[in-house]
Structure 1
Amino acid sequence: MEPESTYDKVRALIVAGDYLPGQRLTEQELSVRLAVSRTPVREALHKLESDGLVHGGRRGVTVAALGGKALRDAYQLRAALEALTAELAARRQAAGEIPPAALVRLVEYADRADRATRDGDLATAVRLNRAFHRHVAVLADNTPALTTLDRIWDQIVVSTRDSLAAPSRPAEVDAEHRRLIEAITGSAPRPAAEAARQHVLRTLSVRSDHLEGV
């Protein structure tokens, strides 16, 4: 396994919430924190700006956050891409290209995410929910889609952290995950795509009240 890059480390700190939206990032502070020179930090910040996670302006480099229409747009793009990856995963399952262990892992992510949600461990639930959806994209074996989804997920996580609360529909979320799993394991591309799309759009609908105010 390759060592984690400075870019990966700074990205992880932002996504984990160590640096919040609007907070200023300095090359000096990050270079000390990560024990690297300022050059790789500068390069990392440039790349993170292209990812949409930081913004350069008069105040220097700050953590960015999507609001209003931009956040809705991100959810809609996520819905389209996750529909695609779910469909591709189901097609690969039909072709016998997915190892059984990989499907077991998908179920395990759903089980653990649901358990964490019901136990009130929100941070763990959010992390496992993302892992569940990312694993679907891994099963799809489409690198551009996976890369784009990772960037969109990062933006959504950072932009909605201040509104994080226990899911208002844990049973429904788990049921939607199970429908997606059933469609993929059952080699049903169209139902898989629709299950994925509707799941993300329902999440957007639940957040709509918050989005009106940002």
Structure 2
Amino acid sequence: MDVYEEVRGLIVLGTYPAGRPVTELELCERLGVSRTPVREALRRLESDGLVRAARRGVTVVELDAKALRNAYLVRASLEALTAELAACRQREGELSPASLARLVEHADLADQATRQGDLVAGVRHNRAFHQYIGTLADNPAALEVLERIWDQITVSTRASLTAPARPVRVDEEHRRVIDAITRGDPQKAAAHAREHVLATMSVLTDQGEET
């Protein structure tokens, strides 16, 4: 058992929401493991910015408004980079038609779930769409940092999850990114990816909604 991934999953999937105190003993009993791997997992999660040390164990971190905005700004820059790199690889003939079709499928699933009002599935598929662009970029360092930022944003915005105010606009933004990558246009791909993340940040900041 990978205790780190198990505890991370409990946090990111909402079993332990933002602000929730968690003790080592509780995790040991839940996972059926000793304190040593739990302690190591919590150290890593603290480094990831998902928990902070408390009097007894840890507390799941909730980013304040400024920290959340900063996380989105970093995400915007990194997703611009991964979209640019993916488009460069497409221009060089390194992406297969199947991989591009898979990217479209992720966008389709995100749009379908959102329009059907399945917010949890919508968020999951939306994240998968962006993660897959990171995979197509073939830059593990960027994808690793993005994963950490996505985790922080997911945990901190779950409580305000409501029906998105702009489902059509979100899908249109996804399609623009896909089109630029498919055409092998790095500049357009980066610009569209950055604009999409910043638009999402603005909606969240202004209306308290995750889209």
CA contact (8 A) 2:24 2:57 kept: no
For residues 122-181 of structure 1, give each alpha carbon's deviation from its aligned partner in whole angstroms, at most 9, with x where no partner exists.
000000000000000000000110000000000000001111111100000000000000
Query: Secondary structure of the equivalent of 2:53?
Result: strand
CA contact (8 A) 1:163 1:210 kept: no
Aligned-pair CA distance for 1:100: 1.6
Structure 2 residue aligned with 1:173, among 165, 170, 175?
170
Q: Does 1:33 align with 2:30?
A: yes
Mapped partners of 2:62, 2:95: distance in 1: 36
Mapped partners of 1:53, 1:111: distance in 2: 30
Compute the TM-score of the two structures, normalised by the length of structure 1: 0.95
Q: Does 1:17 align with 2:6?
A: no
Q: Does 1:140 align with 2:154?
A: no
Structure 2 residues without counterparts, runs of 5 or longer:
none
Mapped partners of 1:8, 1:207: distance in 2: 28
Structure 1 residue aligned with 2:127, among 130, 138, 148?
130
Give structure 1 regions of 4+ aligned residues with deviation exceeding 4 angstroms.
none
**In the comparison of the two structures, how many residue pairs are matched?**
208
Query: Secondary structure of the equivalent of 2:38?
Result: helix
Mapped partners of 1:25, 1:102: distance in 2: 40
CA contact (8 A) 1:89 1:184 kept: yes
Query: Secondary structure of the equivalent of 1:62?
Result: strand
Aligned to 1:65: 62
- Residue 29 of structure 1 aligns with an amino acid whose one-letter code is E
Aligned to 1:150: 147
Mapped partners of 1:92, 1:203: distance in 2: 26
Aligned-pair CA distance for 1:210: 5.0
CA contact (8 A) 2:23 2:56 kept: no
